[in-house]
Chain A
């Protein structure tokens, strides 16, 4: 019996639709954990053990800021995402939006996390815990040891020295840069107000005049690595440690006056339908084994929040492990700002970049 072309078309279409449906259904049936994450959580070596132990697939989407996460969430349904990697400064902001699930401190190794890193100001809102610290580092000064005197870099004002004119790069992120300059001016970052902004702006314009460039992560790292510049203001272990084997002359230091500390954490979405699995994932990431892998991620290195992280001596030396107690004490976390003050700082940064 011959088949008409139309019937064949219908049969083929039905077969294709059935196949697609079965793939979709099976994909839905498999247990997946959906994570909005920065690039340092994407190494198979980090995710593999968790996936195998829990028979789950970690489906991640790369974000590079809280704003990027909010943009993704704006296009998703509640429950689409289970876990979020977040700049801990934004914990309160996200919790106020009702996005984060309250967590139980007893489920996490807070005893192994330095007190300053576990500071509830960064992880909690109204006494409720929302994010768990997992990794931190510094926006301070990174430099080429063969081109500048490392001892001189211990003074925060060295970056304004005319002898480095044209050899300085500035990381293009206004929050740590403004904070760093505030420290140089002897101001306490947490007490910054509108009245401090003119002096900060003037000092930043002077820094820009000494700089060859102001650039994003990739641009400034490339500039430092290729010798286009000798100093990177806003740099830290996240720039130097990952490429230490190829560029052993790159280093960073926290000046005696202080530096800025970035800190990222993990949160569970309030709308997640897999909160237990999501919490397990957070517990795994802050475990000593996973912390070692996260600290030495192929994307960027940083200090693990858990002081029992599994790292070898060489890795600890690159991360300046021994200096951490002093560094943590001498650094300030990112500013926690109102949206209005944030806008003012952003406009100030734009004015600095436009200054001739």
Chain B
């Protein structure tokens, strides 16, 4: 019965294919289970425990966290700082990526890309301290301003939220430029030519064709910026001068003195929740195949 044999073979092949798929995905699943799901579960359990460890599970840590105005303010500060950094980084990164993709000759693009990622080669901490030296009252910016008699006394550029934003933007411009560039070079140039054939100006074809098609690159860059920026402790700690606290700084406060893991877990879960919400909001726009 040939038809039955063919059907059996197909089923067998399909089963093998399914098994192979499972086998190939197993390492990734195990990785996520071990290093993401399990820590998340542990943190969730911790967040319900009292500091002393001998009380019953409760939502007290969440109540205390959300009932302390300074801690709630830290959530808002983190969201606002991240939003500012994302917008400024995208605005500055886009023209850079566009020029790199369309105006720089192909043979120079690799060199330009290497220059773009140069800041990634230095330590994050060193880079933040370097900014501190640049922005300090005795730093190069104030030296230039005073030498040119633009001001007769040093201006305070460092140790404030603006300095934190600057440190972040410096780092994330390059990250966003890379994701946008990777997207732009994949856009078929015939789309723009077709638009211009139909009478669209260069500006109109950019707005109607290139910009919408580069949204996945911008979205991925924005999401990576959100993830890295909202969880960062170093930059605000060094450059911000503690003029305001971001959520990672408040989490560190819980750890550094009392090793208050339950409260730190509570705050970290709220931070994770914010990132998850951002991901859900952006995920439909992120098409990784375009990168």
| A interface residues (Cβ-Cβ under 8 A, vs B) | 65, 67-68, 70-71, 166, 172, 174-175, 212-216, 219, 222-223, 226-228, 339, 342-343, 346-347, 349-351, 353-354, 356
Contact = CB atoms under 8 A, between A and B. Distances in A.
Contact of A213 (B52, B70, B159, B250): B159
Contacts of B100: none
Given A215-B241, A343-B258, 6 more contacts: A65-B257, A212-B241, A219-B237, A346-B258, A353-B245, A354-B77
Nearest to B160: A213
Given A212-B159, A215-B241, A350 B74 contact: yes
Which 8 residue pairs of A and B lie closest in terms of their CB atoms, listed nearest first?
A: A213-B241, A214-B242, A213-B159, A350-B70, A67-B259, A351-B70, A354-B70, A354-B73
A215 B159 contact: yes
Contacts of B138: 226-228
Contacts of B253: 346, 349-350
Contact of B136 (A67, A216, A226, A354): A226
Contacts of B71: 347, 350
Nearest to A351: B70
B40 interface: no
Given A71-B259, A228-B158, A343-B258, A350 B250 contact: yes
25 contacts: A67-B257, A68-B256, A70-B259, A71-B255, A212-B241, A213-B158, A213-B241, A213-B242, A214-B241, A214-B242, A223-B136, A227-B138, A228-B136, A346-B253, A346-B254, A346-B257, A350-B70, A350-B245, A350-B250, A351-B70, A353-B244, A354-B69, A354-B70, A354-B77, A356-B244
Interface of B: 51-52, 68-71, 73-74, 77, 129, 132-133, 136-138, 156, 158-159, 237-238, 241-245, 250, 253-260
A227 B137 contact: yes
Contacts of A347: 68, 70-71
A349 B136 CA distance: 25
A197 B200 CA distance: 67
Contacts of A343: 258, 260
A71 B244 CA distance: 27
Nearest to B51: A339
Given A67-B257, A213-B159, A342-B257, A354 B245 contact: yes
Contacts of A226: 133, 136, 138
B259 A219 contact: no
Contacts of B254: 346
Given A213-B159, A354-B73, A172 B242 contact: yes
Contacts of B243: 213-214, 353
A3 B51 CA distance: 61
A67 B129 CA distance: 26
